[in-house]
Chains A and B, each alone.
Chain A
Amino acid sequence: DAMVIQNPRYQVTQFGKPVTLSCSQTLNHNVMYWYQQKSSQAPKLLFHYYDKDFNNEADTPDNFQSRRPNTSFCFLDIRSPGLGDAAMYLCATSSGPENYQLAKNIQYFGAGTRLSVL
């Protein structure tokens, strides 16, 4: 059973038209992440939530926003998508870092949303 679910799997939007990607989890993990991954590149962390605490990466453009209304759900909003924002967007979850020796310390990924910008 899928534990981290992303919707939609494929999203096509127009240049400048806002888009929202969603992520839900059944693991009850307190940390949720959003990554952007372009072809042949490492996943690039955009931001993460530790419970309700939002942590933005310094180089994440203001065009990207996130919301976490409750433990299970997290959203990625792209306010004005540009051609350069076409990528795979990955949601992931993990438990807190204190159990680094345990399987809880693993990061689980959703299947991803492939975003195309026309």
Chain B
Amino acid sequence: QKEVEQNSGPLSVPEGAIASLNCTYSDRGSQSFFWYRQYSGKSPELIMFIYSNGDKEDGRFTAQLNKASQYVSLLIRDSQPSDSATYLCAVRDFNKFYFGSGTKLNVKP
């Protein structure tokens, strides 16, 4: 069974701050990694995917991957109250996606 671990939170940050979300995974052979945002009662929405070591930036979001340490992180700059949601980390292995249980982020105005 592939394990994907996330701190459940809640992580509280003030508006305008940087939110840092972390995820570790157990399968060293995993090749692609995803961050989804999920608002309460809604389905997951893809924010970013990454497959190479290093950083990948998209607007206010930066995904970071370190395969040697088996972790992937998501940074949200200039956090907004609308970013308040649960963030799910997922790892793809062939046709399956393994999800963490998510980190709840609260951005306080």
The chain B residues found within 8 Å of chain A, CB to CB, are: 4, 8, 31-32, 34, 41-46, 49, 51, 88, 90, 92, 94-97, 99-102
Question: Residues of B contacting A105 with CB < 8 Å?
Answer: 32, 49, 51, 92
Question: Residues of B contacting A109 with CB < 8 Å?
Answer: 43-45
A108 touches B42 (CB 8 A): no
Pick the contact of A100: B4, B32, B41, B44 (CB < 8 A).
B32
Of the candidates B31, B43, B49, B95, the one having the most CB atoms from chain A within 10 angstroms of its own CB is: B43
The chain A residues found within 8 Å of chain B, CB to CB, are: 31, 33, 40-43, 45, 48, 50, 55, 88, 90, 92, 94, 96-97, 100-101, 103, 105-112, 114
Query: With A107-B34, A110-B43 known to touch, is A42 a contact of B95 (CB < 8 Å)?
Result: no
B95 touches A97 (CB 8 A): yes
Question: Residues of A contacting B49 with CB < 8 Å?
Answer: 103, 105-106
